[in-house]
Amino acid sequence: MNNDKLIHTPALASVTDHSPTSATFVIEPLHPGYGMTLGNSLRRVLLSSIAGAAVTGFRIGGISHEFTTIKGVKEDVVQIMLNLKSIRFKVYSEEPQIITLNKKGKGPIRAKNLELNADTEIVNPDQLICTVDDDKANVSMELTVETGRGYRALDETASGKVVSDMIMLDALFTPVLRVRYRVENTRVGQRTDLDRLLVTIDTDGSITPRDAFEEASAILVNQYTALAGQTRVEAMPSPRAGADENGREADGEEPAELMTSIEDLNLSARTTNALVNNDIHTIKDLLSLSEAELRDLKGFGNKALDEVKEKLAELEL
C-alpha cells in the first residue's frame, strides 16, 4: 500500500522530567490531526481513570456527625474533613486499610502522626489534620483508606458501610493533579504536515508521571481493542522503529530522515554553503563525519559546528 495512505504509528520521542511529580512527554510523528485526537483522549483518561487511594471515612472519639466541634481543637469537624481529603496515600493492597491516630497535648497534628500499617504510605506527611490548643486534650481518630479510580460520591462510598459513629466522605482517588497538552507541526523527510504532541503531567507524588502516562495509554488500548474485534488496519511504522544500531532499516534501506537535504534544515546561509561546498548534501553525509572532521572542513568554524550540533540535537539524531 502507498505509504501516503497509511496512518503513522507514533513513537514516544522523549521524556523531560521537570521534578519527581512533573514530566513532559513528546509523541511524534502523528498523522495530521491526530495530535489533538490523542492529546484529548490521554488527558481525559489521565484525569478520570488512574488508580489511587483516598480517605473514605473516619471516626473521632466522642463525635457522631460532622456538624460539631471538638473540645480543645481549633478546627471544626468540617475543616478536619477537608484536611483528611488532602492526605495522599500509597496503598499496596486491594482491601480497605484502617489507620489510627492518638495524640495528647497541645500542638498541630499532621499526617506524619498517623499510625500506619505495612500496606500504606503517606506521600505528604506535613499535611495538617487539626490543631490542638489545649494541653489536656486527647484526640483519637480512626481513618478508612481505600483504593479506586476517579471520583466516588458520598452515597456510593457509604453504601453498606455506615456505622453509628463513622463519618463517610466522598473520595477523589485520582493521583493526577493536572494535564496540559500542546500540538506542534513536525516533519518526516519531505512531509511537513505531521503533528508532534507534547503532554505535561503533574501528579500528587503517589505515582510517577511516566507510570500514569503508561497506565492511561494501556486503558485506551484495552477499550479500543475490545471495540475493534478482529479488524486490523495497516499502519506506517515509526520512522526509527525497526532500525538497527547503525540507524539503517531492517530491509537495508536508510531511514527517510537521513536523506533530508542540508538545505532543508534551516541552518544559516553561511553554514549551509560551507557544508554544500564540502560535498555534504544530506543528514546522512553530515552524520558520517566526526566532530573533528567537521571542524577541519574548509570555511567551517566553531560557530557553524555549534549550530549543526544544536540542530542535530533538536532532530534527536
Asked if domains 3-50+176-236 and 256-314 share a fold, the reply is: no
pLDDT tens-place string over residues 262-301: 777 777 888 888 887 777 877 777 777 777 777 777 777 7
CB 34 within 8 A of CB 221: no
pLDDT tens-place string over residues 160-201: 555 557 888 999 999 999 999 999 988 776 777 888 999 999
In the CATH scheme, what is the code of domain 51-172?
2.170.120.12
Q: Stretch 1-9: mean pLDDT, rounded?
A: 63
CATH superfamily for domain 256-314: 5' to 3' exonuclease, C-terminal subdomain (1.10.150.20)
The predicted model scores a pTM of: 0.68
Q: Which CATH class is domain 3-50+176-236?
A: alpha beta
Domain coordinates in residue numbering, the chain: 3-50+176-236, 51-172, 256-314
User: Does residue 55 have a pLDDT over 90?
Assistant: yes
Q: How confident is the model at residue 70 (pLDDT cuts 50, 70, 90)?
A: confident
Long-range Cβ contacts of 147-151 (<8 Å, 24+ apart): 147/51, 147/52, 147/53, 147/91, 147/93, 147/94, 147/173, 148/51, 148/52, 148/53, 148/54, 148/173, 149/48, 149/49, 149/50, 149/51, 149/52, 149/173, 149/174, 150/48, 150/49, 150/174, 151/48
